[in-house]
């Protein structure tokens, strides 16, 4: 029964570590909040002003979303993806997380989750009562599955429907998928739909994000929203772009949406139009330059013969592996790190890795992004002096983590 499934679930580990960090700070302890992933930047001012001017909007909006917003999203996405999306392809939700949950509920088949995957994919799949296939990945493949791995699962029962969750740039690894074309060929060959979670796509450090929808748009549902690139996580606005070929899925999600969240907050939707209609390229460029520089600083200062780590390629995470025989599980290790250094991390086991693999997710956003952004321009090189000045807790926390690792 569903009630029994819910009883077995734990609260989201990302939200839990944020609450734990706050509690420890209230007790007077200095905590380096590397466990919770949240944009350090404020929402662009023009979008905030639009929210203020629409605060009086109090009517229920269309369940699929405000048409003007869906048109703005479709136009914005069509330009980015070089594909002709229409407003009717877009569903606006109270965060992409809610829309993903509805997708799990309506999907009839098997869910394929790479390890690592965002912490909420698996619990949602469990609640959707679909069978889950976990694919263990390798560092040399940027922590993404290969086409051959996916085909090996599907070829055992070719008549089933499959749904692959692909998150690039990735949470928790900070890596970008370099297997898009070969994965798309598997999707075309079998009954495989891809949920492309592109919530960090605007924060790709190469500034040249490639979506798997470029290779198989007819089999790809794009999921994204305002939370990461626009600094609006608390506003709770996300969306799906669903191609015409998957209209049956869109229609079923619409039915469930009508019986659950009804419609997204009206003022938020009106404000979001400006997020997609106005030019925010300067804001995004500054955000990417800062995150790229801070991420590289963490990478360079943490990597050693005891810490294996890939340089981050997008978003605001990286995933160090601490080589040791001291701890039985990554959760035990992260508890020890928090107790001895004040650095809050999330264990790799929360993201689908075997518990004995000593991986952790590190979010390098514990700094005042607005202050940092005010003191640079698009062309100014962000050096170590600027990072020391505007991201001092990141610098101190990394030093504490490095010292801890050297004593393993």
Q: Examine the pLDDT at 289 and tell me if it is beyond 80.
A: yes
Same domain flag for 289 and 315? yes
Q: Residue 217: what pLDDT? A: 96
Residue 9: pLDDT over 60: no
β-pairing verdict for 220-225 and 238-241: antiparallel
Number of domains in the chain: 2
Would you say 21 and 36 are in contact if contact means Cβ atoms under 8 Å apart? yes
Task: Say what the pTM is.
Answer: 0.94
Mean pLDDT of 19-23: 80
- Indicate whether 70 and 171 sit together in one domain: yes
Let me know whether 269 and 287 are in one domain.
no
Q: For residue 197, give the H/E element and its range.
A: strand 192-197
- Please, are residues 155 and 117 in contact by the beta-carbon 8 Å criterion? no
Q: What are phi and psi of 194, to 5 degrees?
A: -115, 125
* Contact assessment for residue 394 and residue 294, using Cβ atoms and an 8 Å cutoff: yes
Helix, coil or strand: residue 114: strand
| Residue 290: predicted pLDDT | 97
Average the pLDDT over 378-399 and give the result. Answer: 93
| Residue range 25-42: mean pLDDT, rounded | 90
- Domain CATH code at residue 194: 3.40.640.10
* 34 and 83 part of one domain: no
Question: pLDDT tens digits for 193-227?
Answer: 999 999 999 999 997 899 999 999 999 999 999 99
- Same-domain check for residues 16 and 149: no
pLDDT tens, residue by residue, 221-245: 999 999 999 999 999 999 999 999 9
pLDDT exceeds cutoff 70 at 8: no
Whether residue 166 sits in one domain with residue 119:
yes
Residue 5 pLDDT > 90: no
Domain boundary among 220, 253, 277: 277
Both 176 and 298 in one domain: the answer is no
Residue 377, pLDDT > 90, answer no
Q: Based on the domain organization, do 32 and 122 belong to the same domain?
A: no
E strand or H helix that includes residue 347: strand 346-347
In this structure, the answer to whether residues 270 and 122 fall within a common structural domain is yes
Which of 80-84, 92-96, 209-213, 295-299 bottoms out in mean pLDDT, i.e. has the lowest?
A: 80-84
| Domain identity same for 109 and 206 | yes
Q: Which of 182, 251, 238, 188 is nearest to 218 (CA)?
A: 188
- Domain end position, chosen among 251, 277, 303: 277
pLDDT of residue 348: 95
CATH of the domain at 34: 3.90.1150.10
pLDDT of 36 reads: 85
pLDDT classification of 147: cutoffs 50, 70, 90: very high
What is the pLDDT averaged over residues 252-261? 94
Domain end call among 261, 277, 293: 277
**Which range of residues forms the domain containing residue 262?**
46-277
């Amino acid at each position: 029964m569903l009630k029994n499934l819910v009883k077995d679930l734990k609260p989201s580990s990302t939200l839990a570590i944020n609450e734990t960090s706050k509690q420890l700070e209230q007790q007077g302890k200095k905590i380096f909040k590397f466990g919770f992933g949240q944009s350090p930047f404020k929402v662009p001012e023009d979008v905030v002003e639009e929210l203020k001017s629409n605060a009086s909007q109090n009517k229920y909006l269309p369940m699929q979303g405000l048409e003007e917003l869906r048109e703005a999203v479709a136009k914005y996405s069509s330009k980015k993806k070089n594909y002709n999306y229409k407003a009717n392809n877009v569903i606006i939700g109270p965060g992409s997380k809610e829309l993903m949950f509805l997708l799990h509920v309506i999907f009839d088949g098997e869910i394929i989750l790479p390890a690592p995957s965002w912490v909420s994919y698996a619990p949602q799949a469990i609640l959707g009562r679909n069978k889950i296939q976990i694919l263990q990945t390798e560092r040399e493949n940027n922590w993404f599955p290969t086409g051959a791995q996916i085909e090996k699962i599907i070829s055992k029962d070719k008549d089933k429907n499959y749904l692959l969750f692909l998150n690039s740039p990735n949470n928790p690894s900070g890596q970008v998928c370099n297997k898009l074309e070969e994965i798309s060929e598997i999707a075309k060959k079998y009954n495989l739909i891809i949920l492309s979670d592109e919530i960090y796509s605007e924060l790709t450090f190469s500034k040249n994000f490639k979506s798997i929808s470029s290779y198989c748009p007819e089999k790809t549902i794009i999921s994204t929203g305002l939370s990461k690139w626009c600094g609006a996580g608390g506003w709770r606005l996300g969306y799906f772009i669903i191609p015409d070929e998957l209209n049956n899925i869109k229609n079923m999600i619409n039915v469930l949406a009508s019986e659950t969240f009804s419609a997204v907050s009206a003022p938020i939707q009106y404000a979001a139009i400006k997020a997609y209609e106005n030019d925010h390229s300067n804001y995004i460029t500054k955000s990417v330059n800062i995150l790229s520089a801070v991420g590289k600083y963490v990478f360079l200062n943490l990597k050693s013969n005891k810490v294996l780590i890939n340089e981050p390629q997008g978003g605001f995470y990286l995933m160090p592996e601490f080589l040791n025989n001291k701890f039985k599980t990554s959760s035990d290790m992260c508890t020890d790190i928090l107790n001895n250094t004040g650095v809050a991390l999330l264990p790799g086991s929360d993201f689908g890795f075997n518990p004995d693999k000593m991986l952790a997710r590190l979010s390098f956003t514990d700094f005042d992004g607005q202050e940092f952004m005010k003191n640079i321009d698009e062309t100014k090189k962000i050096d170590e002096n600027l990072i020391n000045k505007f991201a001092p807790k990141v610098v101190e926390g990394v030093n504490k983590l490095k010292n801890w690792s050297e004593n393993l």
